[in-house]
Amino acid sequence: HARRPSATPAELAALADQNAELLTKMQDLEYEAARAEQTGKRRLKGLEKEIQGLKDELDHTRSASARLEETLREQGRLTKGGKPKVREMRARTRPWEVQEENSLEDPKDFAPAAPWVSPRRTSIRKQMSCSTINSNFQSDAEDGLDVNDHESSPSVSLSTNHLPASRSFPTLGHSVREQALVSQLLAKVHELEEANAQLASEHQEANRRLLDAQTESEGVKRLCEFIKDEI
């Protein structure tokens, strides 16, 4: 049968150049794949660091919220426990009683006293007025009136209902902050998952392109060897 014509040196040189280009392409693909992998790993590491920071801040916020709630509960227990001691507290914190007693004293009269008004009657009348005021304050204490009902008394709260409303704000603030941190944390976790999936996809695509280049290079190499054998 007819023998296949021999390849010219120019054809062999072209195949050699093609093979060299394929080798260069393979090196470029390997370099790009390695660089993309390093970039992806740095991104993943940064996201993991941000997630860890959000976790730490969330744990700190939850701990602070728990301590605050425990403090408020403890204050509530102490406040409720102070009710049986209302008389003792009022005895220490009611300087207005002395003022009330002083205001009940008879005004000084520089005119001669009437002969039918004796000093003893004046003293008895004064004692009756003071005892009436004292009994009124005791009645108020037994009826559960708050010390804050008297304008002259110090602001001493005897029930949790009288706690300042601002004390509940930190709990609300911590709750809002906690929800915000959870939302940020979930968003970062989702971003990490997407970045991880993207890195895996890019790595798979780089491997496919590299494998195609290797296959093409091996084909050119076999063709060169076959042509050399035919010469």
Fold of the 1-76+169-231 domain: Helix Hairpins (1.10.287)
Percent of the chain clearing pLDDT 90 (strictly above) = 16
115-126: average pLDDT: 45
Q: Token pair for residue 178?
A: 């906690």
- Whether the predicted model's global pTM rises above the 0.95 cut: no
Q: Token pair for residue 228?
A: 């050399």
Please state, as a whole number, how many other Cβ atoms lie within 10 Å of the Cβ of residue 147.
19
CA atoms of 11 and 52, how far apart (whole Å): 61
CA torsion through residues 201, 202, 208, 211, sign? negative
pLDDT of residue 230: 65
CA atoms of 156 and 137, how far apart (whole Å): 16
CA torsion through residues 22, 23, 26, 31, sign? negative
For residue 100, pLDDT beyond 90: no
Domain with CATH 1.10.287 in the chain: 1-76+169-231
CA atoms of 123 and 107, how far apart (whole Å): 13
35-56: average pLDDT: 92
pLDDT band at 214 (very low <50, low <70, confident <90, very high): confident
Q: Strand, coil or helix: what is 11?
A: helix
DSSP state string for 78-109: HHHHTGGGHHHHHHHH-THHHHHHHHTSPPP-
For residue 202, give every residue at least 6 positions away whose Cβ sits within 8 Å of its Cβ, in sequence order, or none: 36, 40
pLDDT of residue 157: 36
CA torsion through residues 48, 53, 57, 63, sign? positive
Q: Quick one: three-class SS letters along 135-164?
A: HHHHHHHHCCCCHHHCCCCCCCCCCHHHCC
